[in-house]
Amino acid sequence: MDRRLRGWVLLSTDHSGQADHAWPMKEAHVRLPAPTTEPAISIDIRLTPGYYLDLDGISSPYIADLLHRCPSVFDIKLVMTADLDRIEQAHPAIAHLGAMETGTLLSGRVLVQEGARIEAGAMVSGPVLVCAGAVISAGALVRDHSVIGPGCHIGFGAEITRSLLVGDIFMKHPSFIGDSVIGRRVNMGAFCSTTGLRCDRGPVTEPAIDEITVNLDGRRIGTGQTKFGAVIGDEVALPAGTFLTPGTLIGSGTVVYPRGHIGGFLPSGSRVR
């Protein structure tokens, strides 16, 4: 099945951050494997993307398609990673990069949609997709299989890795998102952080070996991953200094008052004091 990414530009760089390829192309073609037929599996609705995200309100065709291919929130990072690796292997590129300021620090494949902007002094290490209207400011770091959705604003001192930001997310202050899915119109206050690695069983190892689990109704459910941060639903605001424990699930519209750290499952519309 051919998927076409229209209106995107790709910069390929060497280790010095200088462009090493720039070929004019009208479209980028990505060939994905044909879908396989598998037995239907009953999934708790609280583990589906639709519980946290308004799937009909997503403006990015790629992100909408990605989420519709993921029965569980645990699938999103894995499918997104595979997609970005295939995009990288396709080697699409065009000559014009009007949204890339001189002085941006780049490595790997960085795919930038028309209308997005990466400012001088930002560091982006691909494979990374930056969608229309997104801004990555000076001093921000985005790396390693991440998608920055339409209208997101990533500010000085913010770091994002192996994560999907669906759209219109404000992360303008020093903060960290890793191995996570963040819904639309989420505000990350200063010094907020997800955590995706267990550290309760002695010294931390790299690569990690302990599976991250989530807690639903007192049951521990495996994510199938050794690094899994959080799923934060649409229209959630995290106050400054909030830390999320590994495997945190926050339903849409949840209001979190200042409290240091939170974890577990928070249903949509919760008020957490």
pLDDT, tens digit, 9 for 90 and up, residues 69-87: 999 999 999 999 999 988 7
Least confident of 68-72, 114-118, 160-164, 246-250: 114-118
One DSSP character per residue, 172-225 reads -SSEEEES-EE-TT-EE-TT-EE--S--SSSS--SS--SPPEEEETTEEEE-S-
Segment 76-104 mean pLDDT: 71
How far is CA 242 from its chain centroid? 19
Q: Are strands 123-125 and 219-222 parallel, antiparallel or unpaired?
A: unpaired
> 188 near 175, Cβ under 8 Å?
yes
| pLDDT the model gives residue 91 | 38
| pLDDT the model gives residue 12 | 42
For residues 226 and 36, give the distance between their C-alpha atoms in angstroms, rounded to a whole number. Answer: 26
Tell me, what amino acid is at 253? G
How many degrees, rounded to 5, is the angle at CA 195 between CA 171 and CA 237?
A: 35
Which residues, at least 6 apart from 57, have a Cβ–Cβ distance to it below 8 Å?
184, 234
Question: Does the bond joining 92 to the residue before it have cis omega, within 30 degrees of 0?
Answer: no
pLDDT more than 90, % of the chain? 60
> 227 near 247, Cβ under 8 Å?
no
Which residues, at least 6 apart from 28, have a Cβ–Cβ distance to it below 8 Å?
4, 5, 8, 10, 87, 90, 92, 111
- Per-residue pLDDT of 158-204, as tens digits, reads 999 999 999 999 999 999 999 999 999 999 999 999 998 776 666 77
Which homologous superfamily does the CATH classification assign to the domain defined by 2-32+45-191?
Answer: Hexapeptide repeat proteins (2.160.10.10)
Phi, psi of 171 (to 5 degrees): -140, 65
For residues 159 and 153, give the distance between their C-alpha atoms in angstroms, rounded to a whole number. Answer: 12
Widest Cα–Cα separation across the chain: 55
What is the tally of helices (H) and strands (E) in the chain?
3, 29
